[in-house]
Amino acid sequence: MRESIEQMHERLRGVMAASRFEALSQPYAWQQVSKLSQLPATALAAVRDGATWYALTAVTPEATGAYRIMVFHFAEGSNASGFVAWLAGIIKKEVGTGVMDEAPWLAGPSISLADLHAAPMFAVFRLAPEGAHLLGRQNRLQGWWDRVSARPNFVHTHVPPRHASTIQGRL
């Protein structure tokens, strides 16, 4: 049985209520590193875009592209499936940032972890006829998909077509 939107909202509100929440005290931004071997030990994450590496590192509040990081520590055994997308949707609705406005990326003017996290989910979402139809009706969201799916790192890691029928059978 599929979960309704209302049921998902209630489940994820419960997950959030049972979670430990933390806002990191320092702002963070993606900083280019020349080689993976030079990745700072304090980096929260690293991504590669083509041949270029970026590290998510603490920066001064005045740094370009700086933003705050929220961390949720989920209670053991909780079903947090869909949490990031759900929370991003609520934040965007309340704050008015991201692809539903004029920004080219989910969290604003620059690609972020939100885009990197959401892209694989959208790749699978598009395999279902309903998902492709819904995505096609949302011009800004379709524009985001076109941008993120054209990036070299995504092109090399997306679900190969030979696996699409297996995934479609599970949707």
Instruction: Dump pLDDT digits (tens) for 121-132.
Output: 788 777 777 777
For residue 34, pLDDT beyond 50 = yes
Instruction: Provide the b/e sequence for 28-40 (b: ≥16 CB within 10 Å).
Output: bbbbebeeeeeee
The fraction of the chain above a pLDDT of 70, given in percent, is: 85
The confidence score (pLDDT) of residue 168 equals: 47
Average pLDDT (8-37) is 88
Q: Would you list the domain boundaries of the chain?
A: 82-171
The confidence score (pLDDT) of residue 77 equals: 92
Beta-strand (E) ranges in the chain? 20-23, 28-33, 45-49, 52-58, 70-73
Chain-wide mean pLDDT for the chain? 79
Instruction: Dump pLDDT digits (tens) for 120-160.
Output: 878 877 777 777 777 777 778 888 889 988 888 777 665 55
HSE value, Cβ hemisphere, 13 Å, CA-based, for 34: 0
Tokens of 100: 């539903």
The SS3 of residue 105 is strand
Q: Is residue 153 within 8 Å of residue 48, measured between CB atoms?
A: yes
Please tell me whether the overall predicted TM-score, pTM, comes out greater than 0.75 for this model: no
